[in-house]
Amino acid sequence: MLHYALTFFVIALIAALFGFGGIAAGAVEIARILFFVFVVLAVVSFLFGLTRRQ
């Protein structure tokens, strides 16, 4: 998940460099959503890992 977020972020940077503002904005939004999904899943996984050890 984090890999895809970073991929879309790089795509957004390249698109912004070449002046494609709409594509860059779309890629940034996708990267942001994927990053927050990754963070939520990582926290949930961490919490389940703590409860299984006890």
**What is the residue whose two structure tokens read 């940034």?**
28
**Three-state secondary structure along the chain?**
CHHHHHHHHHHHHHHHHCCCHHHHHHHHHHHHHHHHHHHHHHHHHHHHHHHHHC
pLDDT at 38: 92
pLDDT band at 19; cut points 50, 70, 90: confident
pLDDT at 54: 63
Average pLDDT over residues 7-32: 88
Percent pLDDT > 70 in the chain is 98
- Parent domain of 21: 2-53
Q: How many domains does the chain have?
A: 1
pLDDT at 4: 86
Q: What is the pLDDT of residues 23-46, one digit of tens each?
A: 888 888 988 999 999 999 999 999
